[in-house]
Structure 1
């Protein structure tokens, strides 16, 4: 899974944006209170991707 794709999918949860390459990405946001929600979503996306691999 591309780190850039993952970051782009979860950054809006914290009212932010991000991107990067397949191996490394970064994001920022205006709503750090929602970081737990973003990490939960990232976990869900990764689990789904692995289940369908």
Structure 2
């Protein structure tokens, strides 16, 4: 059972990494400069873009 949990955690971590890369790429394609602001990363910039529209 512990082995299955470790495998699940690895799969989740890999999926998270893939999503982080995808979000970064999508934010970069918008041409926004939000990520240049201190403290705003890809996820924060994506959230702001979604909220503002």
Higher strand proportion: 1
Higher helix proportion: 2
For Structure 1 versus Structure 2, the TM-score category normalised by the shorter chain is 0.3 to 0.5
Higher relative contact order (CA closer than 8 Å, sequence separation 6+):
1
TM-score when normalising by structure 2: 0.39
TM-score when normalising by structure 1: 0.39
Whose Rg is larger?
2
